[in-house]
Structure 1
Amino acid sequence: MNWLKKLTGQLTGKKEETDNAAVAAATPGVPSAPSDAAPSAYAGQDLTLREGAPEFHLFVASATLDTGTGLAHGAMHLASLLAVEPSRADWQALAARYLDAANGDVDALLPAGDERFAHSEALRAWFWQRQGRTAEALDLLLQVSRAERHAIYLHAWALDWLEQDGALALVDDATMMQLLATVLNSVEEAHESSFNIVRAMKRWAALAERASAGYAPSPILLMVRAGLQRKAGNFDAALAITGPIEKAASAEQANAIGLLLRCMRRFDESEQAFIHANSFDPDDITPKLEAGDTCFEAGNWQKALGWYEAVLAAADGQEWALASSWYCRYKLDGDEAWMERLWEAMRGGDNRAHQLVFRERGRLAQSMDATANLLRQMREGWLKNGGGDGGTIQIGTSSLDAPSNQLAFALEFAAHNPAARLDMESGAVSSVDPRLALAPVDYALWAYDGNVPHPAMPAPDAAVRDAIAALALAPYHPNENWAQASHVAARFGTAHVRDMLAVMVYPPPLPQGVSALEWLPRVQLAAAQVLGQVDSGWEGSERRRALVSVLFGPMDWTTCAAIRVLAWIGAAEPACATDIMGLFAQMERHIPEVGHWDWVTLLYQQWLEIPSLFDTEREELRRKLAAHEGNFSED
Structure 2
Amino acid sequence: MDTHGSDTYGSDTNGTHDEDAEQHTHAHTNACDTGCCERLEAEGEVAVARLILDSGDLGHAADHVAGAIGTDPSLPEAHEVLAELVARVGGPVAALELFPGTSRYTGTLACRAGLLAALDRPDEAVVLLAGVMAAAPVRPWAAVAWLADPELPSRLSAEPLTQAVLRLCQGLGDPVAEEERAALVPFAEVVRAVLARGEDPQLAAVASGLARRLGDIGLALEWGEAAVRSGAGAMGAIMLGNALRRAGRVDETIALWTLTIEQDPGQSYLVVDLAELLAFTGRRPEGLALLEKLVAAEPEHEKAAPALLGMRFEADGDTAHLLELTDHHRAHPDHDYAGYLVGHHVQRFPWLGRVTGGTEACVNLLRQLVEADNLTVSGEMSLSIIEPPSAITTLRLVIPGLQVGFLETGDPDPRLPGAEVGVRVWRYEGCDAFPAVEPPSARALALVRDLATPNWPGPTALYDHAVALAGVPVAELLGVLAHPPVPQDAPWQGGFAMEVPDYWVRSVQTIVCMGIAHHRADQPWGDSERRRILVDLLNGAEDWVCEAAGMALVATGWAFPETREDVLEWLLNRVGQFMQVAEKRAVTVLASMCHLVLACPWLEPKGRAFIADVVERLESED
Larger Rg: 2
State the TM-score, normalized to the length of structure 2. 0.48
RCO higher in 1 or 2 (8 Å CA, sep ≥ 6)? 1
Output the TM-score relative to the length of structure 1: 0.47
